Every structure is written in C-alpha cells, then in structure tokens.
Structure 1
Amino acid sequence: MGQKGLISVSTFSVAKEYNFSRIDDDIILFDNFGKLPVPCEPSRNMGLIIGLCLQGSFRYTADTVEQCVHAGEAMIIHEGQVVDNYQRSDDVEGIAIMMSYDFFHEIVKGFHELSSLFLFSRSHPVFMLQPNEVKDVVDYFTMIKNRVDDGSRPFRRDVVRMLISAMIYDLSNAIYRIQLRSDRKPTRAEAIFSDFIRLVEQNYRSERRVGWYAHEMCITAKYLSETVKMVSRRTPNDWIDNYVVMELRVLLKNTTKSIKEISQDMCFPNQSFMGKYFKEHVGMSPMSYRKS
C-alpha cells in the first residue's frame, strides 16, 4: 500500500489468474487488449509496459494526464506511474509486453542512449509508428510469445531478452525519427538526468558515491538527488545500484572469473563486502546465483 487510497498493483500476480504467457515475475505478454486486467481504481503501476494498438482506440490517465491511443500508435507506461480512467472502444485490438524493471535493465544494459529513450517516453508516452514499424513490432511480439510459451528451451529467457532488446532498438529508430522532427528542447532537469546517466554508464564499475557524480557535474548532491528523483522517480543510488547489480549478474553467469576477481574488477573493498552487497540487492549470495 502506498499513499492512502492508492493501491500498487502487480499485473504479474493478476496474470496468474488469466493464464497469460509469462516468465516468472519478469515478463508477461498480452495478445489482446480486451483481456487486460485493468484495475477499477487508481493504482500505481509496478512494471514497464510497452503496448501497440492495432485497431480501435483506448484511453487512460497516467499521473493524472489523459492519454489516447489509436491504431498504429505505441505507448509506454513506466513503473511507479499512477494509472486510472481506462476506457476502450468495443473493437479495440492490440498487444502489450509488461516487464519488471530489473528485467528491463537487464535487456538495455549497454544501451548508450538509455537516458534519451527514457526521457522521450516520459514526454511522448504515446507515439505514431509507420506501417512497416507496426509490422516489425507485431513480428517481434509473435517470436517472443513463441519462445515464452516453449518451456522446453533451456535458453528461453536469454533468447527472449535478446528479441526484446532487438525490438527496443527498432522502436528507438522510430523514436529518433520523431525526435528529429520535434522542436522541443530538454528541460534543465532532463539535461541533468541525461548527464548523470552517461556518467554512471562510464564509471559505475569504480564509483558508486552520489557525491562524486554531483562533484563531476558541478552541482550539489542534494540537488542531483532531487532532480533525478523528480525526472525518473528513482534516486541516484537506485540507478547506480542497478548498473552495478546488472554487471555483477553478467560476470557471474557469463564468465569463469572467481568471485574474488569479480570483486576486484568492480572495485569492491573485498570479496566479503561484494557478497553482502549482492545479497542485499538480489536476495542470494554470488555463489548461489552463479549455480542457480
């Protein structure tokens, strides 16, 4: 429970009742907008949703701002946004993918324009795709659903992650095209957020202090924290920890380096400190994660 009178809804838990295609609590696919489990009261979204309307229309409010989505338009709803007033036409058809934020950042790790993508989707939560782009998203969705539904594949999760990554890159091409036509200038807060994310991408392996990033940006740590939280609804520490944890996961799963070597590569004081840090954020020890 968040604010009084406001519920936080995990669509993953609701999905179990409807038997949607899903992988654990990381990804769920909706192949019919008419079957979306829409809450009947204001609720805080607990994952990232990427949707595409194929026919008809629907509308909703996100953080009290009304959005209307028509055929051929994509939408992005972020974690933490308060969604309400959902309405749809009788003939609405569409597809949607919902991801946990951990899974999403696993996918976009190394995506150098993450801050641009994030900020664009905040200021343009609904945007029109060209017919060939619509077809591409539908094709990706079909491939992703086929892999999600095939539980016999030992690398199912990895294949799904790569397919969604490719889809996001293609969507980013559309976003780049739209940005070139837009005369909207980023706000001061958005520029600070973008600079912060770029600095984190370059330095998270060796630097995890918010004060260090603030110093590099010639602003106070308090101002940086307030600005990043306002723009992204996440603290600077949340963003830094996310990059660090994703890198640790990759190193543990995809290299033969010892845990001691990984802790040295990531500039932790010692192996024990890294173990405590990893367990705090992932819920298990590095060795248990490597074996899982």
Structure 2
Amino acid sequence: MTDMKEITVASALQLHKGSHIENDLLLLDALAALPLPEEPRRMGCLLLALCTSGTARYTVDTIQHVVRPKDIIIISPGQVTDDYDLSEDCNGIGLMLSDRFFRESISGIHELSSLFLFSKNHPVCELRPEEVEMLSNYFHLLKQKVDNSDHHFRVETVKSLLQTLIYDISNAIYRIQNSEKHKHSRSEKIFFDYIELVERNFRHERRVGWYAAQLNITAKYLSESVKAISRRTPNAWIDYYVTLEMRVMLKNTAKSIKEIANELHFSNQSFMGKYFKEHVGMSPSQYRKT
C-alpha cells in the first residue's frame, strides 16, 4: 500500500502559478481554478480560505462539511481531505502556508494556538460581513506585498501582515467558539483547558500526570479526552510546544544551545540535543544552519 500523497505549497504551485514566496506561501485568487484530487490527500500545510460564491461539500478526517458564501475554511497540517463536490458557481480566495513559515510568522504568540485548535474540529465557520471584508482586504494587501519582489524587506513585511491577519482571524474564531452555537462537550473543555495549561507551563513541566492533577482528573481520563478531540496524545502536544519553542529560539535568538537547554529545563545540552533530533530529525546546530 502506497503512502497517502500530501497537499503542500510546492505541489499546489505545480498546478497554480499564483503569487507566492518560494515553497512557503501561495495566494489563491480563484479556488475554482484548482483541479481537485480524486483520492484522499493529507494536508502538508495550513490552508486558510474564504468562500465567496456557490457551495461546496468535502470531508476533513472523514467528517463531511458544507461550505457557503461568507464561510472561512481552515484545514491544518496532518488532516485528511476527500470527497469534494463543488457547485458550478463555487469560488473563493485563500492562502496556503508551509508549517515552517506559519510557525515563524506567529513566533512568540502561543496563546493563539488554542484558538486554531478549535478549527481542527470546526474547519468551517461563518464570518460576519465586516470580517469577510477584512479578510478580503488582507488578501489583496498580501498579494501586493508578495508581488513586489523589489522590496528589500518583502518576506519580513509579509510575515508581519500574516501575524496581524492571524490575530484578526483568531478574534473571529474566539467569537464563534464562545457563541451559543458552539457549546463545548466535556472532552472539548478538558482539551482546551489542557492546552492552555501546556502553553503556560511546557518550559518547565513535561509530566502528563502533573497536568492531570491540575485539572483534577486522572491521567487516563486526560489521555482519552485529548485523543478523542485532537487525535494526539497529551505527550505529543507537550512535545509539539517544546520543539516549537526550540525552533523559534534557534532561528530567532543568538542564545547558545546550552542556554536554550537551561531555559527549557533540560538536564543538560546533550539530552536536549537527543530530544530535538528525535522529534525534528536533525541536531539543534544543524537546524540553526538551515
């Protein structure tokens, strides 16, 4: 059995030569022009899209979703999409971000993560008219900046704009998350409370039992709830935040690897190096050079 193919910025660029920055960012000004795969595909990047006309049906992780005008679509890396069915007048705009480019754009703002996690189980949400206009304006401004290849700070300007865009999208998600239509199940509440705890404490606490105790539940119940909502174990989420922080510090600070190990409460630099290589596939010093 062959591995499932991924949808990445690079693979999309082979089909749509739109405004882009290498294999990290692609702006899609006509979603209807993209040929749809005829088999399940795993997302190897983040997709943010806005439906502007018509309707569409598709599945994310086997669950069917219906998209209508004013709906925002957020599909995260690792999720599987399939069973596409678009009306003849369906169209929209969107952008695709490599995981690396997304991480670099939001470095230092972990508190947005729990909002984007909400979208993993609610990948289609209806925006207000003013939010639709806001998203459209961001898209056109991003396109203008991406296309200006003579701008000396082109990439930095685009990252700054993306960070502002993500703040505004997260504000819309926060509103939707707390609306009457989206009351949390018990498992969802445990999951979001767990993620908030991890975001505050991952630098010095990596024991699942400790987090379970803070939530007044057993480690087993925490594991079952987190896996039911996110399809990841509690340990996997801790590893995600720790390695994300390592990546950000290695790329965006001049701190030595030993200083980073101390700041993240590893027993020594060697242990941190083994941990990083296990989860990222290369040593911290190799990653810093990439």
Distance in 1 of aligned mates of 2:92 and 2:227: 32
Offset from partner CA, 1:131-151 (integer Å, 9 cap, x none):
322222122222333444455
- The two structures, once aligned, show a CA RMSD in angstroms of 2.8
**Residue identity opposite 2:9 in structure 1:** F
Cα separation, 2, equivalents of 1:24 and 1:223: 43
The correspondence for 2:195, drawn from 189, 194, 197, is 197
How far apart, CA to CA, are the structure 2 residues paired with 1:67 and 1:187?
A: 19
- Please say if residues 14 and 37 of structure 1, whose CA atoms lie closer than 8 Å, have aligned partners that are also in contact: no
CA-to-partner distance for each residue in 1:134-192, whole Å, 9 max, x for gaps?
A: 22212222233344445566654443333222112112222333345425421111111
In the alignment, is residue 211 of structure 1 matched against residue 209 of structure 2?
yes
TM-score (norm 1): 0.84
Q: How does 1:259-274 map to 2 (within 5 A)?
A: 259-274=257-272
Q: In the alignment, which residue of structure 2 is the partner of 1:90? A: 88
SS in 1 for 2:14: helix
Instruction: Give structure 1 stretches of 5+ with no counterpart.
Output: none
**CA–CA separation in structure 2 for the residues paired with 1:57 and 1:156:** 35
Partner of 2:283: 285
3-state SS in 2 of match to 1:284:
coil
Stretches (4+) displaced over 6 A: none
Alignment correspondent of 2:165: 167
1:224 partner SS: helix
Structure 2's unaligned 5+ residue stretches are none
The one-letter amino acid of 2:6's match is: V
Partner of 1:7: 4
Offset, 1:206:
1.0
TM value normalised by structure 2: 0.85
**Match of residue 54 from structure 1:** 52
Contact 2:273 2:284 in 1 (8 A): yes
Deviation, structure 1 residue 271: 1.3
Is 1:31 matched up with 2:29? yes
Name the CA shift for 1:84/1:250 in 2 (closer, same or farther; >3 Å): closer
Q: Is the 2:7–2:41 Cα contact (8 Å) retained in structure 1?
A: no
Aligned residue runs from structure 1 range 100-115, under 5 A: 100-108=98-106, 109-115=108-114
Aligned length: 288
Q: Letter of the 1:112 partner, please give it.
A: E
